[in-house]
Amino acid sequence: MSYEAYKMNNIGFTTKQLHAGYNPAEHYRSKAVPIYQTAVFELGDYDRCLRLFEYAEEGHSYVRFSNPTNTVLEKRISALEGGAAAVSFSSGMSAISNTLLNLAKEGDEIITVNTLYGGSTTLLGKLLPDYGITGHFVEDENDIESYHKLINDKTRAIYIECLGNPGINIIDIEAVAKLAHEHGIPLVIDNTFATPYLLRPFEHGADIVCYSATKFLAGHGIIIAGLVVEKGGFNWLNGHFPQFEKFYAENKAQIGDKILRQVMFTKRLRMRFLTDLGGHMSPQTAFYLMQGMETLSLRMDRHVKNAQAIAEFLEQHPAVKKVNYPGLKSSTYHALSKKYFPKGPGAILSIRVKGGLAAAKKVLGNVKIFDYMVNVGDAKSLIVHSASSTHFGQPKNIQEKAGVYEDTLRLSIGIEDIGDLIADLKQALDSII
């Protein structure tokens, strides 16, 4: 048997999304990744038990720590991102919150932007401060000096999104990564809207990538899932992270210096947070996620093609006040889109309609194919009013900094026939003229 695609690095993205990380010979030669639907695994003997619990040996003992199905998923997303290691979580917010808790402790600070998903804004602005971790929001995400003036000896990371939600703005990743590294801190990017097919943040200087894998990675809208991927090689022993220095000292003997220096973030994330806080992904969910990922590149090509056509249509419709989509030449972010998203800037866009909240509600009530739902990244097209859902409860000034107004509608463009999608939006928008 000569099958080796699972470990080949010199193959294309679409080939990797089908094969990376899974050797059938290690799983009774099943071509599909098996679902290990069990809570526990045999420890073997006393000595092996010690090695497993010291993380000195790769293996499985209890599913809250790891599972063979999830391990394949983690290897696959690492391969697609060009990263060194990954951890799967029960949700995107679990992935983000555990990432930030791994980076910061009481008294530490995280620099971030206002153009985030509402849940992330609440996490950094309200929840983490209760645990002594402060989120500082830059004044202008497009101005590198806005980041620079917030950095101090308590700063532990900069956290941004690949595409803002719902304003779909683009931050100059390389500039922010350069600033972060000058101060010995990592850049963390939520890559949910782009996926590694459209953007590989590690190639532009990012150190950690987070996902709500619920969205485009899965594509079918049937699971809640999160992923964290580490680039590898960041110097966590540079004096800014005493918790990592302690972790290194405690685990160097059994895990090994070389491994820890390469993937210490991931090791600590699994051992201290996934294991002890319990936000693990079920193996069934991991299986469903991999089914979606097998068609990721094919779907994203169609998503982007449809989104570009719809953005161009909406820009010309008389009922639309503004379209936020970097693929448009009129967009402030068009140049950055061409730099970072040569295959297209995703399939999420937002619009402001003429006529305020009443007009927005009428559009929501009249669409026939676009479904009124809070999710994004489904193969099916969705629409939502951000102010009353994803950014609900936030002060008006905070919403507006994220590009959310009473007349804002966010659209997640699916893979349906483009003529049907445009016709649906046209009849709904025509109703408010």
**CA angle, 18 as apex, 14 and 21 as ends, to 5°?**
115
Task: Provide the 3-class DSSP secondary structure of residue 420.
Answer: helix
Instruction: Tell me whether residue 296 is exposed, middle or buried, using C-beta atoms within 10 angstroms of its C-beta: 0 to 12, 13 to 18, 19 or more.
Output: buried
- Are 265 and 312 part of one and the same domain? no
In a domain, 224, yes or no: yes
- Are 360 and 287 part of one and the same domain? no
In a domain, 316, yes or no: yes
Q: What would the pLDDT profile of 380-409 be if each residue is shown by its tens digit?
A: 999 999 999 888 888 888 888 888 999 999
- Are 309 and 398 part of one and the same domain? yes
* Tally: H helices and E strands in the chain: 17, 12
- Residues in the chain predicted with pLDDT less than 50, given as ranges, are none
- Are 254 and 197 part of one and the same domain? yes
**CA angle, 231 as apex, 339 and 130 as ends, to 5°?**
100
Looking at residue 1, its pLDDT comes to 60
Which of 260, 276, 292 is at the close of a domain? Answer: 292
Q: Count how many Cα atoms sit within 13 Å of the Cα of residue 164 in the half-sphere of its side chain.
A: 28
- Are 130 and 154 part of one and the same domain? yes
- Are 236 and 96 part of one and the same domain? yes
CATH code, domain carrying 367:
3.90.1150.10
Question: Which residues, in sequence order, are CB contacts of 329 under 8 Å at separation 6+?
Answer: none
Instruction: Give me the helix-helix angle, 257-268 and 242-255, nearest 10°.
Output: 130
Looking at residue 345, its pLDDT comes to 98
- Are 307 and 283 part of one and the same domain? no
Q: What is the pTM of this model?
A: 0.96
When divided into structural domains, the chain yields a total of: 2
Looking at residue 214, its pLDDT comes to 98
For residue 398, the enclosing domain spans 297-430
Joined tokens for residue 430: 């025509």
Looking at residue 401, its pLDDT comes to 82
Which of 233, 261, 292 is at the close of a domain? Answer: 292
